[in-house]
Structure 1
Amino acid sequence: MNKIESLEQFISSIPAFKTAVPVDLSIAVCDLEKFVAYFPGDNINLNIKIGQKFQPGEPLVIALKENKRLQAEVPAEFYGFEFTGTALPLRNNQGKVIGGIAVQHRKQTELRQVSERILNSLIQADEQISTITNSSNSLVDVASHLLQQSELADKSVKQTSEVLSIIKRVADQTNLLGLNAAIEAARAGEKGKGFEVVANEIRKFSKETVESTQQIKDTLAQIQDVTKQMGEAIAQISAVGQEQAASVQQVSHFVKDIHELSNELNKLATKL
């Protein structure tokens, strides 16, 4: 496969070969002493000059001396980028080595690096999303607990209001009883004076009880109104927290999908 008529004829066919191959290649052709042709790629150029002598230990020199194909991975520190280099001796029809060809294919290191950065970013994003998800779930739990406490507070206020209603009825009855006692004391004349004083104190106490009960009832009504508003607000917070948790969960699924695609991209970049 590496027998040719002449180096000149072989060199003349390289432009057509580069056009036909859907890979960006850098191709150098040499005789037994120096480079006689060089065709840089679009993204890989080793700046080889026509007539440039070989460097000691260069793979192409070894391939010519040992009359065999060589392939090596050249690190970025030599030319600023990684590439795969292949050196192949060229023989004439008599089987004599008359030169060689060196083909360089740039490795897609940048693509792999970008893929790795995407992968690392996705890992960090996934960790942050997990944190947000946990916080959202905690928020929902706290809101649910507060809503339960708000409902208990509202229930307690209603029970207290019922107790106050009973106290008011007792006070009303006591006031009526005091009024009747005052009337009977007036009928008794001088003998009922002392009892009249007690009846008046009972009426006064019952009146104060009714007034205090009404004040407490008004205060409880205000507390009940505030508690109701708090319950509604907590319910909204709980609903928002649940929606947020669901949205974050959905984003987490998207991140996992992108994570898998990034892994596939990284594998593909490694193979290039």
Structure 2
Amino acid sequence: MLWSKPQKKPDTNLAENRQPAMAAVSTTPGEIQRTEKKETIVDLVVKLAPIIQEMIPMDCTIGVSDREKFVYYLPGEGINFGAKPGDAIPKGSGLYGAVSTGRTIDTVVPKEAYGVSFKLRGLPLKDEKGQIIGAVAFGLSLKNQEALIEVAQNVAASTQQTSATVEELASSAQQLAGSQEVLENLGKEVLEQVKKTDVILGFIHEVADTSNLLGLNAAIEAARAGDHGRGFSVVAEEIRKLSIKSAQAVKEIRDILAIINDKVMVMSEKVVEAAALSEEQAAATEEISAAMQELSTSAGKLEEVASVI
């Protein structure tokens, strides 16, 4: 058998000009096929959720749903209620409220529910026509808020207690100042009485001098009378001794009263100084009390701000 060169079959995919054949494409708009699915706002929120969580400096969780079920859930560090894509939206949740009412829903989830309290906001998601196609829920941990409120309450309680103590000190200082004023007046009265004793001592000293002089005269007359005046001489001598002792006693009393006078004057000066210090203390405690009142007011405002976070 002779080998014969095989005949080449014509390529039906090539046109007469040897170029690839192109299928005719219709330019009618209705015949154009769109194969790409258009992104919805739900899809965009799902993409942005991790970025949003990263931007929030506090523990937070984000859930996204369509009208019936979860399509995405991003738990926080401490907030995790275990939702998975495909799970039905629980009734009473922020997502359910936002989808069913079309309004923003704010609620506070107590600590008993998931082990940590958090503030939840549900927001409806709408398409270009304004139709609700889903919702997004953002949960923010209230741990920092609760700690801030506790600190504010402790500060308020401490400032109130301190303010009450300062007010007591101010009241005590005022009472002390009043008592010291009384002591100062008493000291002045004592000084006046000491001055009056000088007059009495002067009189006693004068009596003693007079008695001494009378005793001396009596002794002279007794000596003139001789034996008849001996008895009178003894009496005169005793009068002279008594006058001398009286004069000595007056001197001692005067020295003692001088010392008392000096001590009372020192005491009066100290009382005056203490009264001035008490007044300064009362003024200082009033200033501290006013500052504590301002601090208590600031703590109250801090608590109000914390409740809004």
TM-score range (shorter-chain normalised) is 0.7 to 0.9
Give deviations 1:244-272, integer Å, cap 9, x for gaps: 11111111111122122223222222333
Distance 1:82 1:231, change over 3 A: same
**5+ unaligned residues in a row in structure 2: which ranges?**
1-38
With over 3 angstroms needed to count, the CA separation of the structure-2 counterparts of 1:154 and 1:128, relative to structure 1, is same
Aligned partner of 2:6 in structure 1 is none
1:68 and 1:246 map into 2 onto residues whose CA distance is 57
Q: CA deviation at 1:6?
A: 5.5
**CA offsets, 1:208-267, max 9 Å, x none?**
211222232233233223323332332332222222111111111111221222232222
Q: CA deviation at 1:92?
A: 4.3
Shift of 1:136: 0.9
User: Is residue 70–residue 83 contact of structure 2 (8 Å, CA) maintained in 1?
Assistant: no
| Distance in 2 of aligned mates of 1:252 and 1:68 | 49
Shift of the alpha carbon at 1:54? 4.3
8 Å Cα contact 1:69-1:89 kept in structure 2:
yes
Q: CA deviation at 1:203?
A: 0.7
Q: Residues 87 and 109 from structure 1, CA distance in 2 versus in 1: closer, same or farther, beyond 3 angstroms?
A: same
Shift of 1:122: 1.7
Q: CA deviation at 1:163?
A: 1.3
Counterpart among 86, 111, 125 of residue 90 in structure 1: 125
Q: 1:179 to 1:13 in 2, by over 3 A?
A: same
Decide whether the 8 Å contact of 1:54 with 1:61 is kept in 2.
no
Determine if contact 2:58/2:141 at 8 Å carries over to the other structure: no
- Of 228, 246, 257, the residue aligned with 2:283 is 246
Contact 1:153 1:227 in 2 (8 A): yes
Higher RCO structure (Cα 8 Å, ≥6 apart): 1
Secondary structure of the residue aligned to 2:72 is strand
Question: Does the aligned pair in 2 maintain the 1:38–1:50 contact within 8 Å?
Answer: no
Residue of structure 1 aligned with 2:109, choices 74, 82, 100: 74
TM-aligned CA distance change 1:270 to 1:65, over 3 Å: closer
Aligned residue number for residue 144 of structure 1:
181
Q: How many residues align?
A: 268
Q: 2:136 aligns with which of 93, 96, 101?
A: 101
Match of 1:57 among 88, 91, 96: 91
How far, CA to CA, are the matches of 1:92 and 1:205 in structure 2?
127
The residue type equivalent to 1:257 in the other structure is E
Using the TM superposition, give the Cα deviation of residue 141 of structure 1 relative to its aligned residue in structure 2, in angstroms. 0.9
C-alpha separation in 1, matches of 2:293 and 2:124? 49
SS at match of 1:45: coil
Distance 1:254 1:177, change over 3 A: same
CA distance in structure 1 between the partners assigned to 2:272 and 2:86 by the alignment = 81
Q: Specify the alignment match of 2:304 in structure 1.
A: 267
> C-alpha root-mean-square deviation of aligned residues, in Å?
3.1
Q: Which residue of 2 aligns with 1:33?
A: 69
**How far did residue 148 of structure 1 move?**
1.2
Query: Aligned partner of 2:107: which letter?
Result: A
Query: Which AA in structure 2 matches 1:34?
Result: F
Amino acid at match of 1:11: V
Please give the alpha-carbon distance, in whole angstroms, between the structure 1 residues aligned to 2:131 and 2:239: 135
TM-score (normalizing by structure 1): 0.82
Equivalence for 1:200: 237
Q: Which one is further off, 209-218 or 166-175?
A: 209-218
Using the TM superposition, name which of 174-183 and 90-99 deviates more. Answer: 90-99
Return the alpha-carbon distance in structure 2 between the equivalents of residues 56 and 10 of structure 1.
Answer: 20
Match of residue 150 from structure 2: 113
Q: Give me the whole-angstrom Cα distance separating, in 2, the residues matched to 1:130 and 1:248.
A: 7
Runs of 5+ consecutive residues of structure 1 not aligned to the other structure: none
TM superposition score normalised by structure 2: 0.73
Alpha-carbon contact 1:82-1:109 (below 8 Å) kept: no
Structure richer in helix, relative to its length: 1
